[in-house]
Chain A
Amino acid sequence: MRKYVIIGNCIAAAGCVEGIRSADPEGSITIVSEENHPAYCRPLISYFLDGRASLERISYRAPDFYDKAGCAVLYGKRAVAIKPDEKTVELDDGTSLPYDALCVATGSSPFVPKMEGLENVKNKFSFMTLDDAVALDKAVTKDSRVLVVGAGMIGLKCAEGLLERAASVTVVDLADRVLSSVLDSECAALIRRRLEEHGMRFYLSDSAARFDADTAYLKSGAVVGFDALVLAVGIRPNVSLVKDAGGEVDRGIVVDDRQRASLPGVYAAGDCAQTFDVSGGVSKVLAILPNAYMQGHAAGVNMAGGDEVFDKGIVMNSIGFFGMHAMTAGCYEGEVYEEKTENSIKRLYTKDNVLKGFMLVGCDERAGIYTSMIRERTPLDSVNFDILKKTATTAAFSAEQRRKKFGGVV
């Protein structure tokens, strides 16, 4: 009977369990879960803050998921070392777990840059875990002034979650726009406007020069008082276990298209892993939930002796605020096709006869048709792109492509 160990217990781990069980119903699975929760929908922690997701509903799988899959979950335990020669994982309580195949699904951690006086702030929070959200939920009242440092997805979703239950929410970011990693200035301006209409305040192209207990002094000279401070500047993949064991690590843990790391019997999946980005043609950390699941599943199948590749990874995001959705995918290279209205922007990027990427704000209908074209690298001369660029429709595909799509099982 094979012994499987998974370090981490979130989406990639759940995918890994389901992958292993699709190929091996017998082997033993042990999950090392530093967090004291069953796998939960991490992006929903902001929905927990505004009440749209309860603690019960936030679980990623049914309560009997681990029992049914025959997994032992070690809650509250931390892996401190991988010993690749002995094929064991060492835990913080001194236990040693032997493995035949190991999946490292350790995710990422908040990165907090040095900021003067930060140590004086008592009420400060990260926003990565359910425990972070629960702590923030307890700390924020209707009289609280909240300051969020970071206008990326984590910072903005946290700010949104608190907006209607706090006295004020202010967001500061070094970038000149919100969601700067995925949106350009014009797209970001639409989202920012929507958030401002709902009362969120921004200091962009700005940063905290120093803090005292309840005040941030910004570079611009602005002074922002707060009762709770959320630090959402960035994240770093948790790679140290593999790095310390001598495995190859770049930004993330380097894996091949079967999620195999450079150490024998060791796999990695999710936010800690670095995989190939089909649209950009480079290896990078594709830290989004769908990829975490798919990578975890592929790792699990391969760990159990099956064969599954993860070779269609792209960066993509869907994020919405107060009814306005921004969808992005791929990379923004090549020629641009653009449509704009007062409340929407559509930008499609094409190069070398394929769709490379898109930004869609306020116009999301059937966007998956575009996403699949990026993922599948559909040649543009095989479709009627003059129609497709205006409307995402499969009717602009050839009769043969439609027959393949709709004629049988997919």
Chain B
Amino acid sequence: MKRVYVNEEWCLGCHLCEYNCAFANSGLSDMALALKGKPIYPRIHVEEGEKISYAVSCRHCEDPLCVKSCISGALSRKDGVVRIDKDRCVGCFTCVLVCPYGALAPGETGAMLKCELCLQNAGGAPACVKGCPNRAIVFEDRGEAE
């Protein structure tokens, strides 16, 4: 199945993916209205090292520690996508404690947010990929199982 990958040599560290992600998941049709002057809650974040930068979002692990560790049954994996039911999440942070990639963080309500490949929102395809100005973020199939 297709997943989001990042070419760290091409990442400019511009953080546009974070804004595109937050906008795509806002449910609003105007980007300024959705993001301007507000704290944003992207499901992707740019990691910055000494000479590198790259964006990190959920890896949709085949054997996801977060799903196995979730104390409320909110996290599940279906058709290769790790999803979160925000109504079931109690904000215990156990998934934050176990995710090796740092790919989950709390949103405005305290429920955890994570990348669901934009399948659940109006985008239908990852907004971080579409909006990456240097095509550092790609959505492709590297041959792994569902």
Q: Interface on A for B, CB 8 Å cutoff?
A: 15, 41, 43-44, 47, 52-53, 57, 59-61, 289-290, 293-294, 297, 316-320, 325, 327, 329, 364-369, 371-372, 384, 387, 392-396, 399, 402, 405-410
Contact = CB atoms under 8 A, between A and B. Distances in A.
Nearest 4 A/B pairs, CB to CB: A366-B102, A409-B144, A395-B49, A372-B100
A290 B68 contact: yes
Interface of B: 3, 5-6, 8, 47-49, 52-54, 56, 59, 61-62, 65, 68-69, 71-73, 87-88, 90-102, 104-105, 142, 144-145
Contacts of A394: 47, 56, 101-102
Nearest to B63: A410
Nearest to B45: A366
A153 to B, nearest CB: 11
B102 A368 contact: yes
Given A371-B98, A405-B59, 9 more contacts: A59-B73, A290-B98, A293-B69, A318-B92, A318-B96, A394-B102, A395-B54, A402-B8, A409-B142
A325 B48 CA distance: 26
B134 to A, nearest CB: 17
A396 B51 CA distance: 11
Nearest to A18: B68
A406 to B, nearest CB: 7
A316 B97 contact: yes
B102 A320 contact: no
B6 A406 contact: yes
A289 B92 CA distance: 12
Q: By CB atoms of chain B within 10 A, which of A15, A327, A368, A392 has the most? A: A368
A44 B100 contact: no
A369 B71 contact: no
A61 B97 contact: no
Contacts of B95: 368
Contacts of B73: 41, 59-61
A407 B5 contact: yes
B90 A364 contact: no
A270 B145 CA distance: 29
A408 B73 CA distance: 27
A41 B90 CA distance: 11
